[in-house]
Amino acid sequence: MTYSKTALFLITVILISASSGPARDWPQWRGPFFNGSTDEENLPASWSATENTKWVSPLPGPSGATAVISNGRVFVTSMVKRTGGYVALCFDQETGKQLWRKNVGSDSRRAHPILDRHRQRLPVHPHG
């Protein structure tokens, strides 16, 4: 099975802050301040597959979505190459273990996960 380098990169990037201890949640696209910035300190200036990376997980296809991090879980969406469908996936922030995978349709190619803290659900915004 072929996995998107972009998708692996996105998960790696979002997890860099997790590698240095507890980090602020990243609840939606562009993060907690809605501008892609963070107030976390001492983040690494560089990373690779082996340097400053806690874990990397393959995805079933390409993803242009920003991962969402909350309460020790990482949520990401990905296209499934062989079917053209789209899935939402949840990973344990510490271990990288996949906790669940849900089909979210076939016309959500630019979908971004958005955390609904009040209902503990993960709706997927279809317009990216």
Structure confidence at residue 50 (pLDDT)? 83
Burial of residue 117 (CB within 10 Å: 0-12, 13-18, 19+) is: exposed
Q: Per-residue confidence at 18, pLDDT binned at 50, 70, 90?
A: very low
For the full predicted model, state whether its pTM sits above 0.75.
no
pLDDT score for 113? 73
- The segment with the largest mean pLDDT, out of 10-14, 42-46, 107-111, is 42-46
The H or E element spanning position 79 is strand 73-79
- Tokens describing residue 94: 């510490």
